Structures are given as structure tokens and as C-alpha cells.
Structure 1
């Protein structure tokens, strides 16, 4: 083997080392890709397990500031966690009971609502009547008219009641697991912080880990609780306004507006469209009917452009493209529940990425605008001593 003077490494050995390093990098990328694919498959096929777990963590992080506030006032975490989760479940159950009747009635009246909507929109279709007549004549010439002597048979799908009962049982199980797990997470206090600190050996690593954990937990819990309160206020405002206008079932539309507002852009559009249909069917005057969707649009615009940026701040604003991709992905993965939690999960990922240098590129991609690096913050004071060897 040829070596240069002074014990320098030969070019051949340098080439071999570079090739080995390149192969190792490709292998790591391949393993990471396979891990992500397996994770997605696991989330999809084991959604009955992962869904309540993720929901429980989101509920726990949302209620954490309240539990922390009550703990400072001398109320134990297990007691406050139990009372808060029970109150949360009671409010959700009460709202579900209040909107169940109007929702069932709305579904049963859907055919008549469709016919009434068609009649009301006839005045907007007058310029198209000539075209519709031409198309009808073309249908008759090409045999598009159904022979009245041909009997059409509609085959009812069997097992509808069984599927509905199974869906209801699965939903009740998911809610039960979510609430119980949320109670345990809230009641655990600083146990997770102690475990994280204990997993590091050096004092500097312990302090950095504790700072990052507190930072992530504080920002996420503040965001989730604030957004939940804002959405609740938006629902109350829209429901009250629609009640004043005279739209039937305003509680139903207020709850729908509050829930769908977790879907930026999409939720407001869906709420406005549904309210527009109900208003057109309800009121005789078309101009007065358009007042209801205009009010919904006004409320959502004020919330999205002024209230939320003012209260939450613009640092946690997300890229619109990332929002649509996340909503589409989680909708495919977990349906409506996945769509509703897509944006909160995206915020969790962004906050986590912002706290690690190697992941800040991903955090900047998810952000709506280039974020300014924050100055290093001191860790918040630990409320209870962490006996982890610090």
C-alpha cells in the first residue's frame, strides 16, 4: 500500500472512507423512509387504538394550564383533573343532546329542503331555461328519457341498523378511553418531566431537556386552550346572530361553526354554505336570506384576521399549503376526527421543530412567514421539586 511521507492517508483509503460514509447516509435515509411508511400504516390500521390516545393528549394539553393554575391555589392535580374532565364531558354531552334532535330532523327533512331550495332558485335559473329546454329535447332524441313501463327496483342495503349501532358503540368506547386517559395524564403532574430528566446523564443535558419540554408544553397548551376558547366564542356569536336573524336551530349552527373552525378556510366555507341553504329555504326574501351567510362570513373574517392573530400571535401561523396537506392526510387516515385535529397536530409538530436546530428547517416550512429566532429563555420555575438527580 502506497503511503505518502509523514504517515498521510493514501487517496485510495480516503475514497473508501468517503464511499462507506455515503453508503451509511443512504442506508439511514432508507431506514427512515421505511420507518415513516410503517408508522403511517400503523396509524391507519390501528386507528381504533391511536385515535383515543392522540385525542387524550390533546385534551390533556388543552386543560393543563387550568390544572396548573388550580394546583398553585392548593387544589391537588388528581382532583382538579377529574373535575375538569367530568365538566368537559358534561358540556359535550349536553351539547350533543341539544343538537341531536335538530340534526335528526334536518336529515329527515333533507328531501323537502332540496325541493324547496330548487323552487327558490328558479328565479336565478331563468336565463338558463332555453338551454335546459334544448338539453331536454336532446335527451328525448337520444333515448335519455326513462321508459315509464320499466319498473325500477331499489335494493335496500341490509344491516343499516347494525352498522349504526356498531358505529355508536365504537364512538362511545373512543370517548370513554379518551376521557379516562386524559384524567391520568392531567393527574400525573410532573412525573413525565422527572422521567425525561432521569434519562439524561450530564447536568447540561438535563437542564436543556427540561427547558425544551417546558417550552413545548407551555406553547402547545396555551395555543390549544386559546383556540378552543376563541372557537367557543365564535360559535356563541354565530348562534346568537342567527337566532336574532330568525334562522331555525341556531344552536346547531353555532356548535357546527365552533367545531369546523378547527379547519381553517374549509370550515368557514362549509358553515357559510350550509347556513345559506337553510336561510334560502326558510325566508321568502332572497336578499334577507343572504344576510345569514353574510353574517357568518363577517364573524369568521373578524376571527381569522384580527382576533386570533391578536390573541395567539403570528409566530404560530401556519403555511396554507401545509394546512391543506395535513387536513387531506388526516382526513384520509382518521376521517372527520382526523380532519378536526389536523391543525392542532400541525402546531404541535411546528413547536417541537422550532426547539431543535436540526428540525428548524421543517418548522420554517410549516410557518406562514419566516420566523425570527427567539432568544434563549430561562426554563420556567418547576412547581414541584423534580427529584431526578439534579
Structure 2
């Protein structure tokens, strides 16, 4: 049922015309949101790879569009798109797996250092008044075998994701094939659903800008971290540089994840002073770039405030698991496009969640161009 204007000139929704109070409408909306989120959590194992494939395809789709404009056959453009994404994923996965395997081979060399560290920690706890047996139990995990088992478990987890990886590659193949003709289908759909198509295009553009900014900052951080760790003689500096690059796609707190392994190796190599140096330099470089400068640039690029980005990270990680941390910003852009940008009556929310006000998205584009908003689709 279409809305109409009431006596005050405010549009009246269909729910209001049948006498539903606004409070009940809000409660029904919240109940529907809870059901939707519960469904996302149930199917997270399937949805997370699909959404990752969607994000990668959206990011790389300009390549196929450019090739078609140059006269390349559609099937060849689709193949180039799929191969490009495959090469990037396989290169990152191979580098990470080989580096973790090297770390497994390296850890047994630190048996003596770990034993000394364990004895020192147990002595410190005893001096603080702990029972010696209790202190030994608390420091029991500080041994080479435990850390080696932990890292081997991580490597096994990477290998165990092979089935999910095959599923991801299959989804990427079909999305890549459809991406070639999708712009033309969007143009046809825009004649009847301009707001929806505008929201989808806003999501695609925001996702590309986010990944471009994150990639540039990630490369800068990875190079600096690698040089710093190499100067400090921390083992496997290239591995930790690669880890910094990957965790840079996790908003706000990614540098903390990348800090733990080199700080631990710094403790084993040079004791507390070297570990403190590693933590201090990481905080100086990574915190300033990733947690101060980058969120501001990302917010301006995609139209999400720093608070919204952080809450997106927490929410999507809780819903989809570890992949949710990587997909937090793109998924928030998609949700914003489908729930806010698509409806003129909800665009006021854009002012509350955006970094620079409601200038982002389809509505902001029309305000800047001076065009009136399109009529609400029937």
C-alpha cells in the first residue's frame, strides 16, 4: 500500500494507514533484524566465502569493463577477470602458508630461551607470593612444544580450509562470468528501480575505494615493518611484513593482530628490552598510520564514520567469524545501500553514520548535481 501525506505534509507509510503505532513498527523492524542476523549466523560458513567472492569480483570488475571497451570478446574479458583474482588469492595464500611452515621449523631453536623465560616468570610469581607449584602450572605453557603445536595447528587450519577455498574459487568463477554482462543488466533495471541500482553502484564504488585505500596503506605499513624488523634482527621479517599487509584490511585493530608474533620473537631473541622496542616501533608506525590516519581517509572515501567502522568490525566478526573482520566495511556499505540509500525516507540516517554528512551515495550525488530525487519506485 503506498503512503500519502498527512495534514502536516509528512508522508504516511502503509503501516500507519492501517493504524499501527510507530513504536510497534519499530519493534517489528527490530524483530525482523534479529531473525535476519540469526539466519546469517547459521549460514555463516557458506555466506562468508560467497560475500568474499562478491567483494573481490566487484573490485576487479572494472578490468573486464575496460577490456570490453577495447574490443575484447566477452568470454576473454571474463577469463582475464577470473584469472587475475585467482592469481592474487593463490599468491597470498601460498606466501602465507610457506611463511607459517618456516615459522614451525624455527620455533624448536628457542627451547633454551623458552625454558629460561619460564623459569624467570615462575620465579617472579613466587616472589609475588604465589605457591611455587601454582606458579609452575601458570607458566607451563611457556615451552617450545606448546608453541610449536599452536603454530602447527594454525598451519593445519590453513590446509583444512582447502574445501572452502575450492568453494570460493567456484563462486568466483561464476561471478566473474556474470560480471561481464552485469553492467548492461543494471542499466536495464535502472529504468524501473533507479534507487536500487543507484544504491548498488554506490556500494560497488565505495568497496573499490576502500580496498584501494587499504591496499596503499597496507603496502606502506608492510614495507616499514619489514625494514624495522630486519634492522632489529627479528627472524622472518618478510612474513611479519606480509602479516601486517593482510591485517591492514581489518579496521582499527588490525595492527594488534600483526604485532603479537614479532613481539614474541623479540622477547625470545633479546628479552624484554627488544620486545619493548618492537612494540614501541610498531605502535609508532602502525598505530599512527592504521588507527589514526587511515580511518580518517577511509571514512572520507566510503562515507562511514570511525565509530561506525569499528562497530561494523565487531558486528560482522561476531556474525560471520574471522572473514567478517575482512568484510566489515564492504558489508556495512552494502547494508547501508539497501536499507538507507534506497529509500528517500531513511536517508536522514546517512547524516548519523557518515564521516562527512549525507554527501555520499546516490542522494548526495543528486544534491551535488542539483537534480531532484527520483520518484519512489512503484
Distance 1:113 1:144, change over 3 A: closer
Distance 1:194 1:358, change over 3 A: farther
- Give secondary structure in 2 for the equivalent of 1:247: coil
The residue number in structure 1 matching 2:129 is 135
Task: Give me the whole-angstrom Cα distance separating, in 2, the residues matched to 1:51 and 1:97.
Answer: 21
- Give secondary structure in 2 for the equivalent of 1:314: helix
The residue number in structure 2 matching 1:66 is 63
The residue number in structure 2 matching 1:172 is 162
> How do 1:209-288 residues align onto structure 2 when only pairs under 5 Å count?
209-283=196-270, 287-288=273-274
Task: Give me the whole-angstrom Cα distance separating, in 2, the residues matched to 1:24 and 1:192.
Answer: 41
8 Å CA contact retained: 2:203, 2:337: yes
Matched, 1:100 2:83: no
The residue number in structure 2 matching 1:339 is 325
Task: Give me the whole-angstrom Cα distance separating, in 2, the residues matched to 1:145 and 1:290.
Answer: 24
**Displacement, 1:114?**
4.7
The residue number in structure 1 matching 2:79 is 79
Distance 1:318 1:61, change over 3 A: same
**Displacement, 1:90?**
2.7
Question: Aligned-residue CA RMSD in angstroms?
Answer: 4.1
> How do 1:146-225 residues align onto structure 2 when only pairs under 5 Å count?
171-189=161-179, 191-196=181-186, 198=188, 203=191, 205=192, 209-225=196-212
Structure with max Cα Rg: 1
Q: Deviations over 1:324-354 (max 9, x none)?
A: 4333333333332222322332244345535
The residue number in structure 2 matching 1:367 is 354
8 Å CA contact retained: 1:322, 1:366: yes
- Give secondary structure in 2 for the equivalent of 1:246: coil
- Give secondary structure in 1 for the equivalent of 2:20: helix
Q: Deviations over 1:2-56 (max 9, x none)?
A: xxxxxxxxxxxxxxx9997342756654543343222222222222221211111
8 Å CA contact retained: 2:262, 2:278: yes
TM-score by length of structure 1 reads 0.68
Task: Give me the whole-angstrom Cα distance separating, in 2, the residues matched to 1:57 and 1:343.
Answer: 13
Distance 1:54 1:306, change over 3 A: same
Residue among 28, 39, 53 paired with 1:56? 53
Distance 1:228 1:187, change over 3 A: farther
Task: Give me the whole-angstrom Cα distance separating, in 2, the residues matched to 1:19 and 1:346.
Answer: 29
Task: Give me the whole-angstrom Cα distance separating, in 2, the residues matched to 1:270 and 1:18.
Answer: 47
**Displacement, 1:247?**
0.7
Residue correspondences, number:
332
Residue among 270, 291, 297 paired with 2:277? 291
Task: Give me the whole-angstrom Cα distance separating, in 2, the residues matched to 1:113 and 1:317.
Answer: 49
Unaligned runs of 5+ in 2: 1-13, 137-149, 370-378
The residue number in structure 2 matching 1:21 is 18
> How do 1:286-325 residues align onto structure 2 when only pairs under 5 Å count?
287-300=273-286, 301-306=288-293, 309=296, 312=298, 314-316=300-302, 318-325=304-311
Task: Give me the whole-angstrom Cα distance separating, in 2, the residues matched to 1:365 and 1:112.
Answer: 55
Distance 1:165 1:106, change over 3 A: closer
Unaligned runs of 5+ in 1: 1-16, 147-159, 379-390
8 Å CA contact retained: 1:44, 1:334: yes
TM-score by length of structure 2 reads 0.70
8 Å CA contact retained: 1:239, 1:253: yes
